[in-house]
Structures are given as structure tokens and as C-alpha cells.
Structure 1
Amino acid sequence: MLDDDRDVLHTARLILKPHFAHVQTESDPGRIPDLLREAHYDVVLLDMNFTPGATDGKEGLYWLRKLRELAPETQVVMNTAYGDIAIAVEAMKEGAIDFLVKPWEKEKLLTTVRNVYELSRARREVAQLKSREQMWQQDLDRPFAEIISQSPAMELVFEAIRKVADTNANVLILGENGTGKELVARAIHRQSGRAAAPFIKVDLGAISETLFESELFGHRKGAFTDAKEDRPGRFELAHGGTLFLDEIGNVSLPLQAKLLTALQSRQVTRVGANHPTSVDIRLICATNQPLYERVEEGAFRQDLLYRINTVELSLPPLRERPEDVPLLVAHYLDLYRRKYQKAEVQLDAAAHEKLLHYAWPGNIRELQHAVERAVIMSEQRLLHPADFLLTGTAAGSATRRARRPEPPPSYHLETLEREAIQKAIEKHRGNLSQAAAELGLGRTTLYRKMEKYGL
């Protein structure tokens, strides 16, 4: 409450304090900008006149406009000893929610503040719901299919989903790009007790370091140049539901520390705010990065890895699920025939054979895009092998089986390991990080083996 009469402030505080957790009084309206930077206020009771002898209400209208500019979500109740209807009408036009005339009765003050407080909370919840709805709509607009598989390798994944879904355990999903990590995360959410609450996805690989805190933790209006209004972060939007952090392996070490703090405390502080907000989320993370090797290299925090991988799921690449290729081809062919109104399009036998024996280095996503492009570009009923421009390893498993490699001169394990390390280093022109990644080793392990073999 802002009023130049300290007796009024004292009385209001005595009336309101038993009913509200935080009641603050202030006699100097010039502190309004500082107060709004320090905390969020649902309701402000603002006097119309602060200078002794003033009765025109201009000071109150000035600070009302300033409040509406700095904190548009805060509801303002005007307070004056002069029951001038013209001033009341002007204050309402400027954005005041209600008007009190001093001296007020205790019940009148309490009822007015309580009603306006409930209205403020309701409007804030509506704004949050709109933000969630926008996020959900973006998700709905992105076409994705249910998990399609009949392979034994994926049955193990399905069994793990069934076991972990109805818990609050943090889940880490590992797998190459395009293997369906997001679909698995959504399947866990849909089968959990949080299914009716939001599923909020964050692509950490697409967020710049400068926007990381704002996107995840939210910001207050004016916290930075483009912060034109208060905005909840993804943690707050996921409250009660599931937060899916995709590409977590791409987060830098300084931001990993901030993320770990939020996950440990289950609290976030918006950029520009001083008070944390508690959040109730179920965390699912995914990455195509070798996190354990990155921990060895000092590029990923070990304590963060332990925090996010209570349960770990590894998705097999499509080349290890050959049984699923015909199902996926049929699914996406049907999907895009309907989408592009080409119901008559079919695959000829040679095209079908080409897709079955391709290595699919880009996994399901590559298969999806290949089928979509072929359907879009087709000008005839049958799709032929030439209609599928596959840019990865064109020689599929059948071709590789036909060209048996020459046997090595020795099958001694240390000899084979030494040759593999030497070839990997040569292939990557001395880049040990890339060589280690191809060999499936951490850099420390690679150094140790190079020293062992004198490389």
C-alpha cells in the first residue's frame, strides 16, 4: 500500500496482515520502480494525493500510469479521502481496477483487496494457461507418429517404458539422431500419472547461451531489451507435468551448473527477479552425445549426469531394426499420400528393395523425409528407385554382405586394437577427440592406449 499518511498505512497493515502472506507499506511513491524490480505484487493500493494540500489526484494518476507501464499484471486500487466521481472515472480509464474512499471500514477494505487479489491470481493463471496452450499447439502442429516397431530390440525399450512411466524417476534417453527419442519421452509421459498435465519440450541445442536462462527459467518485464512483458520459463510451464530436455549433451559447463541448481532445488528464479518459484516437474532428458566419455573429458558435469539418469534407456539405430523398415515405409507412404492427396502412389518392387537394404544413417527421420520427398516430387503412380535420393551410405547391408572384407593378417586382439586406433587417428588427421568418438573411447582412455602401443 502507498499512502503519505503513516497512520493509514499502519491501520491497513493491521487489517490485511492476518489474511495475506506479504503486506508491504510505503509512503514514498518514488520507490515504486525499485519495489517492482525487487518483487512481484498482485495488488497495489495507491493514494491519489501525496503532496500536502493536493486534492486534484494528478499524482495518483501519474503513478497509476507508471505502475501499469512497469507491471501491467499488477492490479491497482485507488485510495483517496475525496470522493470525486470524475477522478474515479479517470482512474478507471487509466487502468485502475477499483476505487476506495477514505475513511474506509475494515470489512470494506478487506473485501475489496481480497476480491482484487483473487482476480489477479486468476488472470495470472489464465496467462500461464495461454502460454501452455501455445506450447501445446506448437507440439500438435509438428507431425509425429506413434512408435512403430516389431523388432525384439525395441521390445526391450517398450518394457522399460512400462516399468518407468508411472514413477517420478528422472529418465535419460540415449540414441543417434532420428531414432525416436522424443516419441519415447512422450510415451513415458502419456502412460504416467501426469498425462493430463503439460508435456513441455526444450531443444537445448537450438537455444543460445544468452537466452538459456530466459527460456528455461522465465523473465520479468524489463529484465533485458526485448523483455516487454513478464514471461514464465519452460520449467514453470511444465509445472505438474513433464519437462523434456532434448540435446542436453550440447549445454556448456557454466549453463550445466545453473541447470543442476534448478534440478536440485526444484526452484527457478526468473531473470530480473529476486524471489524463486517452486516447480513440480518430471524430468526426461535425451542426447546423441556420449555423455560418459564427455564426463571423462571434463566437458560434462558428473553430478549433473547422476542427477538426470536415474533410469537410462538406449534406443537402437534403424540399421539394427531391419524388421521395422517395411512398417515405417508403409506408415509414411500412407501418411503423405493422404497429406498431398496422391492416393494412387505406390512403390514398385525395385524401390521397395532399395529402401529395405539401405543403411539409414539418419535413422527414422531420414526414412520419413525420403518418403515424403518422393511422394511430393512424383508425377506418376509408381515410385521407382531413382525417386529416392538417399545421401548416406548408399551401399546397404546386402551390398556389404556381398563384399566380404579381406581378413586381417592377425587376429591377436592387441594387434587389431592398435591398428584400429592408428587408422582412426589417420582418418581424422590427428584430431584425437574425433578419433576417440569413432572408437567409442574417452580421450583419457585413448591417450593411455596410444602410450601403450607407442603411437
Structure 2
Amino acid sequence: MDNKGKILVIDDNEDVLFALHALLSPYVGKVKVSTQPEKIQKFIEEYQPDIILLDMNFQKDAISGKEGFYWLDKILNIDSQSIVVLMTAYSDTDKAVQAIKAGATDFIPKPWEKEKLLATIHSGIRLRESQKEVSLLKNRMEVLNADTAYEIIGESEAMQKTFSLIEKLAGTDANILILGENGTGKDLIARTIHNLSPRSKEVFVSIDLGGISESLFESELFGYEKGAFTDAKKDKPGRMEVASGGTLFLDEIANLSLPMQAKMLTAIEKKQISRLGSTKNIPIDVRFISATNADIYQAVEDVRFRQDLLYRINTIEIHIPALRERGNDVVLLAEYFLKKFGLKYKKDIQNLSHDAKRKLSAYNWPGNVRELQNTVERAVILSSDRFLKADDFVLAQTEGRKHKDKEVLNLQIIEQEAVEKALNRSNGNLNKAAEMLGISRFALYRKINRK
């Protein structure tokens, strides 16, 4: 047993307390003993035990176990997830079983067997650790959800209509299809709908269906049993099973092959899945939010996407407008990203110049909000001024090749054109552009700055 975990022992017999302290101390992190159950609340709040060993009888010659039930109830009212192990005489085991039904975790008979006692303590510590991990994950999820909810920015009429639709449908359990170009923020809309829904305290699971090969589709979505295939060393739940009770975001759903669409349709219709290598059906309670940048209706006409699946995933449909359709939202978003990246990179940049605002507003933004974010981040990194000027923004689409009519051998010009082309093809994503050029991100920064 690892030397970790805090144990609280409550018993009216000081000899028992002495024996348990001596026995457990070498195997756990800390042991606290007491003959005073009335101080249990103070012990829980200040000592924060992982396991409480609780005697069932405290008054002399008492055998009813009523005191054990009383203090067990007190403990669970303070912390419903407390790990309480009852200590009882052999003749009290029936009462101990009743106490387990009332919320105790386990019981230890007196006199105890050392190995069984240590095994019980070890199991209790592992259970407590699992509880803490689950609690931590839930807290992180709540923080992430809270942060995400405030990042949808827009005052344009197009976005106000989108916000109004989100508010109307968020409280329902309807399946939703989000349509929009690359970079418009479909994943952000999906998370916001989840955060505003009755499922907000449950998990939000996202999966990019366009990035999954057919060979991995079933194992990723439905999970598998140990031994289902060569590398299946242990059981693994799929995304649908993990998302049960919450929301499953199916990104790029139009990229699914027809055979995979059929399996997806069956799971949605029957509200159950079975893992690879198993015949057992597992019920699922999932809200499906799907998204695609493709013309999914044309795909139905071309028999590349099943019409019955489309009906299942788009009870409600949301179209996210392109950034070029959102008017002054371009400037609002740019100012938001300026503050965000100014803090991140510790830059004292106050605002955008008027020329910069005009330049950003006039650009077509083929990469939408994602391209704008990358563009502002790059400008913040490279700027040393208090205001971002028009020249600080590299907009590949409007600053294309300037020497088409004659052969250019000047290395600097060729390099500049290669940089612009890479930025254009990557929609302003510096990492992707640097990878295309075969250089590091920092080397790309220098070349952009030199321009």
C-alpha cells in the first residue's frame, strides 16, 4: 500500500484507537484518532479525512448500533461522498449491512484481520482519489464552459438573428445542424448552446468526423471491449457513451462515408450503441449538434449524404454568417483579439489606428474569424508601437503577386511572394504557413517583419 491518504478513526475504546493508529500509520499518510464523535464535523472540515473508520456503538455495553447509524447520517449530511467504513462486532454484521444500504462504504468486523483491514483501507483511498479526480474534471469543465460563453462577439444584424435563434433553441433538447464557412466559429456556437442548455452541467464531447478514417470510426464513436482487435488491451468507451447525459458535437459530418452514415443513423434512431467485440446494447442519452462547411443539401441530391440522416440531425438549423457579411463586427472582433493577445504577449498596445480599421473592414476574410484572429495575433507579436497600423497587418488576398508580367529572380521578392502565398493558403495560420515553407514559426515572424 502506498503511504498516502488521511484516516480518521472514531471509537470509544482507547485500546482500539491505539492499536489502529499503530497498525495503520506505516501504510497511510496520516492517522487521527478520537473518542469524541460529537467533533466529527470539526474533524471533517479541518482534517479533511479520506476515510472515516466509525464504531457502531459508543455507550458502554451498547449493542443496538443506533449510534453508528446516527453519526453515519451526520457525516453524510456534511459530505455526501464521505468514505465511511463501519467497525462492528461479528454479531452486528446484519446491522452493518443495513448501514451500507444507508450510505456507508464498507464494514470491518472486530476483531479484525490485518490483511483484510488494509485491503479495505486501500480500496477506500482509491475510491476517494477517483471522487477527487471526477470533481476536478467537473470543475474544469464548468470553468471552460463559463469562459467559452462570453467569446461570441457581434452587433451586426446577421449575428443578432443568430443569437436570438440560439436563445430560443438552447433550452430544448432538439438536434441541431450548424452550417457555415470554415472559421466562422461553428464549434463555439455549439459549446454556447450546450452551456445554455439543461445539460450544461454534463459533459460536452467534440469529435472531428472529417479526421477519422473508416477503420477507426466505430472504435472512436462506439468504443470497444478488451480483445476486440489486436491493440485492444482494455475496455474503452466510445465518444457516444462518454457523452451520454450531455452533448455530442459532430464536426464536419458531411465528410462521413455512406457506410458510416448508416451506422450513425442507427445509433441516433435507437438511442443505443454496442461496443466493438460486444453484443450488449448500451442505452445513450445524447443531444447531437452537428456542423459542416459543405453544401449538405447538394450532397443529398448527389447521393453522397443520406436524406434520412439529415432529417435526424437538423431538427433546428443555424446558419453562421461569414465575417464579410457582418459589417463592423470585423473591427469589434479585432479589438477583442487585440486585448486578448496584448495580455498574452505582455504588449501595451492601446488600439487600432483608423487606417488599420479601414483596411481590416475592406478585406474579404476568406478564413473568417479564425483568419482574423491569426492576423491580429501576428500583428501584436511583431508590433512595438502603442497602436496597430494598417502596415502591421499582412492580408494575403489583397497583397498578392506584384510581378506577374516578368520573370523575377530577386531572392527577396521570391521569398516575399512565397511567404504571402503560404499565408493565403493557410488562411493566415502561422504554424501551417511555416510548415509549408519548411521553416520555423519564429523564422516566419522575422520574414514577415522584414517586409
Equivalent-residue separation in structure 2 for 1:382 and 1:274 (angstroms): 63
Number of residue pairs aligned between Structure 1 and Structure 2: 288
Q: 3-state SS of the aligned residue for 1:285?
A: strand
Who is 2:368 aligned against?
363
Show structure 2 runs of 5+ residues with no match.
Answer: 1-92, 107-122, 401-451
Deviations 1:35-61 (A, max 9, x none): xxxxxxxxxxxxxxxxxxxxxxxxxxx
Q: 3-state SS of the aligned residue for 1:313?
A: strand
Given that 2:199 and 2:247 are in contact with CA atoms closer than 8 Å, whether structure 1 keeps it comes out as yes
Instruction: In structure 2, give the amino acid aligned to 1:288.
Output: N
Who is 1:226 aligned against?
231
Alpha-carbon distance, 1:240 to partner = 0.9
1:149 equivalenced with 2:163 (yes/no): no
Q: Please give the residue correspondences for 1:207-226 in structure 2 after superposition, counting only pairs within 5 Å.
A: 207-226=212-231
1:247 equivalenced with 2:252 (yes/no): yes
1:256 equivalenced with 2:265 (yes/no): no
Deviations 1:246-305 (A, max 9, x none): 111111111111111111111111122221211101111111111110000010011100
Equivalent-residue separation in structure 2 for 1:268 and 1:124 (angstroms): 30
TM-score between both structures, scaled by the size of structure 2:
0.57
Instruction: In structure 1, give the amino acid aligned to 2:214.
Output: E
Who is 1:186 aligned against?
191
Instruction: In structure 2, give the amino acid aligned to 1:291.
Output: I
Which of 387, 396, 400 matches 1:391? 396
Which of 302, 327, 331 matches 2:307? 302
Alpha-carbon distance, 1:227 to partner = 2.6
Show structure 1 runs of 5+ residues with no match.
Answer: 1-105, 396-455
Equivalent-residue separation in structure 1 for 2:342 and 2:396 (angstroms): 23
Q: 3-state SS of the aligned residue for 2:214?
A: coil
Equivalent-residue separation in structure 2 for 1:129 and 1:217 (angstroms): 22
Instruction: In structure 2, give the amino acid aligned to 1:344.
Output: I
Alpha-carbon distance, 1:145 to partner = 5.7
Given that 1:374 and 1:387 are in contact with CA atoms closer than 8 Å, whether structure 2 keeps it comes out as yes
Who is 2:380 aligned against?
375
Which of 192, 199, 203 matches 1:198? 203
1:283 equivalenced with 2:278 (yes/no): no
CA pair 123-294 structure 1, distance change in 2 beyond 3 A:
farther
Equivalent-residue separation in structure 2 for 1:226 and 1:143 (angstroms): 36
Equivalent-residue separation in structure 1 for 2:381 and 2:167 (angstroms): 38
CA pair 127-272 structure 1, distance change in 2 beyond 3 A:
farther
Deviations 1:113-155 (A, max 9, x none): 9989xx89x7998699599769959977998962101011111
Given that 1:213 and 1:271 are in contact with CA atoms closer than 8 Å, whether structure 2 keeps it comes out as yes
Who is 1:316 aligned against?
321
1:166 equivalenced with 2:149 (yes/no): no
Query: Which shows bigger deviation, 208-217 or 307-316?
Result: 208-217
Equivalent-residue separation in structure 2 for 1:254 and 1:331 (angstroms): 43
Given that 1:345 and 1:375 are in contact with CA atoms closer than 8 Å, whether structure 2 keeps it comes out as no
1:292 equivalenced with 2:297 (yes/no): yes
Given that 2:148 and 2:188 are in contact with CA atoms closer than 8 Å, whether structure 1 keeps it comes out as no
Which of 249, 271, 288 matches 2:276? 271
Equivalent-residue separation in structure 1 for 2:133 and 2:278 (angstroms): 17
Which of 333, 339, 349 matches 1:328? 333
- Determine what percentage of the aligned residue pairs are the same residue: 50
Equivalent-residue separation in structure 2 for 1:136 and 1:186 (angstroms): 11
Instruction: In structure 1, give the amino acid aligned to 2:322.
Output: P
Alpha-carbon distance, 1:160 to partner = 1.0
Equivalent-residue separation in structure 1 for 2:171 and 2:142 (angstroms): 25
Q: 3-state SS of the aligned residue for 1:322?
A: coil
Equivalent-residue separation in structure 2 for 1:140 and 1:185 (angstroms): 11
Q: 3-state SS of the aligned residue for 2:160?
A: helix
TM-score between both structures, scaled by the size of structure 1:
0.56
Equivalent-residue separation in structure 1 for 2:222 and 2:320 (angstroms): 30
Alpha-carbon distance, 1:194 to partner = 0.9
Equivalent-residue separation in structure 2 for 1:148 and 1:239 (angstroms): 30
Q: 3-state SS of the aligned residue for 2:288?
A: strand
Alpha-carbon distance, 1:238 to partner = 1.1
Q: Please give the residue correspondences for 1:46-85 in structure 2 after superposition, counting only pairs within 5 Å.
A: none
Q: 3-state SS of the aligned residue for 1:211?
A: helix
Instruction: In structure 1, give the amino acid aligned to 2:217.
Output: F
Instruction: In structure 1, give the amino acid aligned to 2:353.
Output: D
Who is 2:409 aligned against?
none
Alpha-carbon distance, 1:382 to partner = 3.6
Who is 2:410 aligned against?
none
Given that 2:148 and 2:191 are in contact with CA atoms closer than 8 Å, whether structure 1 keeps it comes out as no
Equivalent-residue separation in structure 2 for 1:123 and 1:255 (angstroms): 40
CA pair 229-135 structure 1, distance change in 2 beyond 3 A:
farther
Alpha-carbon distance, 1:392 to partner = 3.2
Alpha-carbon distance, 1:162 to partner = 1.4
CA pair 134-233 structure 1, distance change in 2 beyond 3 A:
farther
The two structures, once aligned, show a CA RMSD in angstroms of: 3.6
1:340 equivalenced with 2:350 (yes/no): no
Instruction: In structure 2, give the amino acid aligned to 1:192.
Output: S
CA pair 125-205 structure 1, distance change in 2 beyond 3 A:
farther
Who is 1:428 aligned against?
none
Which of 177, 180, 195 matches 1:175? 180
Equivalent-residue separation in structure 2 for 1:275 and 1:131 (angstroms): 31
Deviations 1:295-320 (A, max 9, x none): 00010011100110111111111111
Equivalent-residue separation in structure 2 for 1:124 and 1:345 (angstroms): 47
Q: Please give the residue correspondences for 1:397-436 in structure 2 after superposition, counting only pairs within 5 Å.
A: none
Given that 1:194 and 1:242 are in contact with CA atoms closer than 8 Å, whether structure 2 keeps it comes out as yes
Equivalent-residue separation in structure 2 for 1:123 and 1:209 (angstroms): 39
Equivalent-residue separation in structure 2 for 1:232 and 1:142 (angstroms): 28
CA pair 393-221 structure 1, distance change in 2 beyond 3 A:
farther
Q: 3-state SS of the aligned residue for 1:210?
A: helix
Equivalent-residue separation in structure 2 for 1:123 and 1:205 (angstroms): 39
Alpha-carbon distance, 1:332 to partner = 0.2
